[in-house]
Amino acid sequence: MFSGALTALSTPFKNGAVDEANYRDFIEWQIENGIDGLVPCGTTGEAATLSHAEQGEVIRICVEQAKGRVPVIAGAGSNSTKEAIELTKMAKNAGADAALLITPYYNKPTPAGLVAHFKAVAAEVSMPFVIYNVPGRTGLNLLPPTLKQIKDAVPEVVGIKEATGNLKQCAEVIEECGKDFDMLSGDDFTVLPLLSVGGRGVISVTSNIMPAEMSGMCKAFAERDMGTALDLSLKMAPVNRAMFIETNPMPVKTSLYKMGIFKELEFRLPMLPVTPETDVKLDAVLRTAGLI
């Protein structure tokens, strides 16, 4: 269902609130630059510090602005199954094409608990689900055999955002779940090699600031233009590194501000502006890439 480059959208704030006008302009800029899909309310969108009402509003704005031109996969996961159900209902009511559901973090459920979690969400809300596996943030790695169990038990599960950076594990997911399963990279460093083992695309941080390049790389690969795909991958490599020089989304949001795409540079605690040293490094990378 989902392929190419989808942006894990950063969320602009102004005076402590979501800046709707800037967010709409940002979404329009993304679409104009060829992005293949939009993902509001993920880690990059600072969903952890959005209220449920704000999260619903951000998803609604994104769906409304996209106008069906590209799919919207709305972040709706939680470590509480009851809360995940509520957020997924909200995503469906807002008109999202799918829900991005993180594996329950901190709780560290057993494989049986993971299956039960996604079954419970699907029992209450039937829409396409993309599971988000990010052990670096959750403390739990969703292994391919367990994912296969979830997929078999929950037909709503159509894909996964894989942020392990482990190509062996990603290849095993395709082996277990089949070539029609939407394997989406959650790791900007390994998008091109992941495509080569059966991946469909990426939910990307870097595409916040380089949507044309990230979507162009995915399109070039799909068209078997490996030279162009490699050139774009190499062009983005230093930017990928810079986006994680401090905790995401601090560098990418700072970059959006430096590029003039975000009108204000606001974070919600515990996120802070990058250090002066990082700021200098970001400037150098963005200038070299021709982004500022």
Provide the annotated active-site residues: 132, 161
* Residues pairing with 185 in the sheet: 162, 202
Q: Please state, in angstroms and rounded to a whole number, the distance separating the CA atoms of residues 71 and 181.
A: 17
Q: How many residues does the chain have?
A: 292
CB 74 within 8 A of CB 96: yes
* Residues pairing with 204 in the sheet: 7
How many CA atoms, within 13 angstroms, populate the side-chain half-sphere of residue 241? 9
Nearest CA-CA partner of 69 in 105, 114, 27:
27
Tokens of 196: 């080569």
Long-range contacts of 111-114 (CB under 8 A, 24+ apart): 111/143, 111/145, 111/146, 111/149, 114/142, 114/146, 114/150
Q: Please state, in angstroms and rounded to a whole number, the distance separating the CA atoms of residues 143 and 61.
A: 34
Neighbours of 96 (CB within 10 A): 28
In the chain, where do the E strands start and end? 4-8, 13-14, 17-18, 37-39, 73-75, 98-102, 129-133, 157-162, 182-185, 201-204
Q: Please state, in angstroms and rounded to a whole number, the distance separating the CA atoms of residues 85 and 156.
A: 14
Query: Which residues lie below 8 Å from residue 226, measured CB to CB, with a gap of 6+?
Result: 220
